[in-house]
Every structure is written in C-alpha cells, then in structure tokens.
Amino acid sequence: MIQLNTPEILFALHAVQQASALVKKVEETLVPGALTKGDRSPVTVADFAAQALVGHLLDEHFPADPLVGEEDSAALRAPEQRDTLERITHFVGMVAPAATSDQVCAWIDRGSAVSAPRYWTVDPIDGTKGFLRGMQYAVALALVVGGQVQVAALGCPNLNFEFLVSDSAPMQQAGAAGSLILAARGQGAWATPLSGEPAFRPLRVSDRTDPARARLLRSYEKAHTNTGKIGELVQALGVQAGPIGMDSQAKYAVLAAGRGDMLVRLLSSRQPDYKEKVWDQAAGSLVVEEAGGRITDLHGRPLDFTQGRTLARNRGVLASNGHLHEAALQALAQIGA
C-alpha cells in the first residue's frame, strides 16, 4: 500500500483531486450541446482554471517551489478576453472563494518557471481534443528532484476505475467513477476512484513477451504522431492486434494497469525537430516505472528532466511493460524512427 506519509505525496493527491473535479465541472457545464465547430472556449476555461488552482495550492503548501506549467496569462489580460477571464475566475472561485482575476492570473503565471533542482510540473488538461469530445483527458502533476520524478499524480475523469483493476469493465462508461493514479518512487503505482475516500489498488504492467501479441497504445489524433512510421513499426514487430487509440497521459495509466503493452511517441513528419514538453511526460513516466515498466526515448536513453521546459536531450518516447522494450528499440532502429 502506498504510504500517504509525506507532504508532497499528500499534496499531489489532493491537488489533482481538486483540479480534476474543477475540470469535470467545466466539462459538464460548458461542453454538452454548447459547442459550435472550432469552439475551444470550454477547454480554454478548464485549462487555465486548473493551472490557476494548482498554482494557488502550491502557494499555500510549497511557496518556494517553482512550477513548470503549460499556460501563462498574457493572452487573458487582453481586453477582448475579459469574459473568458471572468469565467475562469468564477470556476476557480468555487474552490478559492476569495479569488480575483488578478490573483488568478498570478497563480497561472506561477507555471512560467524553468527546471530547477526541485520543481513541480503540471499539465492542467492533457488531451484537449479528448476533453472536447467527452473522451479521455488527464490532469497531470509531478514533482521532480535532482532530475528524477519523485511523485506523480494523474487525474483521469473519464477513465473508468474498474477498467484499470478488472479484465471485463469498459474503458469509458456513463456514470462510472473516474480514476486517480498516484505513484511515488520506490512505492509503486496505485489507482483509486477519483472522488470519495481513497481506496487504492496496485497497478502492474502486463507480462506479455511476444511482440506479435502486443497491444499498442497510440494517440487518437493522427497529427500527434507519424502514422506511416507507426505502420512500419507494427510490421517490423509483427504486431497482429489493432492499436488502442486514446488521448493524453491516460495512456500511461492503461499501460501501467496491464491493459496495454507499449506506447510510442514518434515524431510527426510535420515537426521532425519537436522536443517533448516536461509536463507531457513527467507524471506518466513515473507511473509506468513504478508499475514495473520501462520508459526511454526512441534511442533507449532515459528521459532527461533537467533541460528547462523540454526534454531537449531526448527524441520521442517509448514506454513498455519492460519485456518488450528491447525488441521495440531494435525495430525503431530498423525503421529509422
């Protein structure tokens, strides 16, 4: 059982619980039936509100710790964004009743830091299109110390908790409890229903060793990867099962639970020099490792969280149950990924 015995672990648990509940409230209030084509206003409100809330909570509990986050408030301060900022402040005020627009902007801007010997990193909504479709997205928070992720939490409001701990439950089910995944270095990876009192269950990667039977997790959005190279990788490994498409770091939770076997982030041909952002990988990487899996870049190098706001020394990401990792690295080298 994970020991909720440090301020950092408790902070990660409660911050992601509160941010996930806030984001879910935005989803339920603004998304259903309210969108026109191309309307991203609900995800904008949820994204900024969640980062502001984490910044606010960090001010209360770890005021000296830097935060590396995806958003900043510059655009929100423009006069034409006044209505959006007011909506963000309204939702943050549900948790922090005294919040003002200026305070909300300051809490958001806490995320403008770069990496330090000790820092937190947050992706307030990972999987924005999944959020807008009512599918998978995640609130991701991690503590990095000395370049190593030490504590990680993923809040996945639409990822059925029973799916992670049962062989029969569907991934997404109306009315089902979402999932909160918590990992601490040396203490394993655990899942609990997102709301209510914690009831942690351990997560463990699969023991699959045959690449032909591997279940590949991949981005739902084709623009996020190189679909041609994915096809070549599947062919090189002899994979027979169809891929599991889903958004966000929720994929790492599914991999950690043994419901998938491999995840690969190949570089899109549109962005061949793209560098992964620390907030996109930090939390999920520890969840996979603590569940018994392995995560590296496409060349087998450990992910380096010391290079500012990106994984500047890495190229892409490969995560697996560990048993399949070397075969996957060999196949990636073979196809020139």
Catalytic annotation, residues: 47, 128
Strand 201-202 to strand 188-193: parallel, antiparallel, or no bridges (unpaired)? antiparallel
Please, which residues bridge with residue 120 across strands?
A: 67, 143
Q: What residues have CB less than 8 Å from 231, skipping those under 6 apart? A: none
DSSP string, 44-97: HHHHHHHHHHHHHHHHHH-TTS-EEES--STGGGSGGGHHHHHHHHHHHHTTST
Q: How far apart are the first and last CA of the chain?
A: 39
Residue 21 CA from chain centroid, whole number: 16
Contact 193, 161 (CB under 8 A): yes
Number of residues that make up the chain: 337
Residue pair 331/236 in contact by the 8 Å Cβ criterion: yes
Say how many C-beta atoms besides its own lie within 10 A of residue 18's C-beta.
20
Residue 5, helix vs strand vs coil: coil
The Cα–Cα gap between 243 and 261 comes to 10
What does the angle CA 205 – CA 210 – CA 212 come to, to the nearest 5 degrees?
115
The phi and psi torsions of 182 (rounded to 5 degrees) equal: -125, 130
